[in-house]
Amino acid sequence: MTKFRNITKPFYFSGIVGRGDIPGYVKQYIKDEEILVSYKTKRDYGVFTNHKIVLFDNDGNAKHIYTISYKSISIPSVTFNNDKAELNLYMDSSYPVSLKFINMSGNDKLCLRILYNCIDKIISGQEPTKEDMKKLINSTIKL
């Protein structure tokens, strides 16, 4: 039996980043796409667009950039626990990607739920609801 290791290190996102606070080097990788939501760790970024996820891993010596097309994801799952959440993505190649979210407020959890629903619909070949997409794009998610 083959055991697959994660494609990336686990990311521990601790907050949503407003569109105006996304660094220029991050925006260079998002062309002709809508940014749904962006997250930040102490030094890393994760950007979810309407077509892909772009992860920026800055380990101090080098920046690693991972682009994950939603079309390459076969199984998504999300787990919520108190003020934490974990988004696990299993690629068509069976490799897992683990994205962890910490210090989440109620609105942060609601945002992640809506994002997960949008990703799940895109993966299954359906259109996410325009209302959900608009909430993410305009950052109008409130409990």
- Predicted confidence (pLDDT) per residue in 47-89, tens digit: 999 999 999 988 878 888 999 999 999 999 999 999 999 999 9
* Contact residues for 126 (Cβ-Cβ < 8 A; gap 6+): none
Closest listed residue to residue 92, CA positions, set 105, 78, 75? 75
* Percent of the chain's residues with pLDDT above 70: 93
pLDDT at 139: 81
**Architecture (CATH level 2) of domain 11-138:** Roll (2.30)
Closest listed residue to residue 65, CA positions, set 77, 56, 74, 76? 56
Q: What is the pTM of this model?
A: 0.89
Do the Cβ atoms of 136 and 118 come closer than 8 Å?
yes
Q: Which of 42-46, 73-77, 92-96 has the lowest mean pLDDT?
A: 92-96
Residue 143 above 90 pLDDT? no
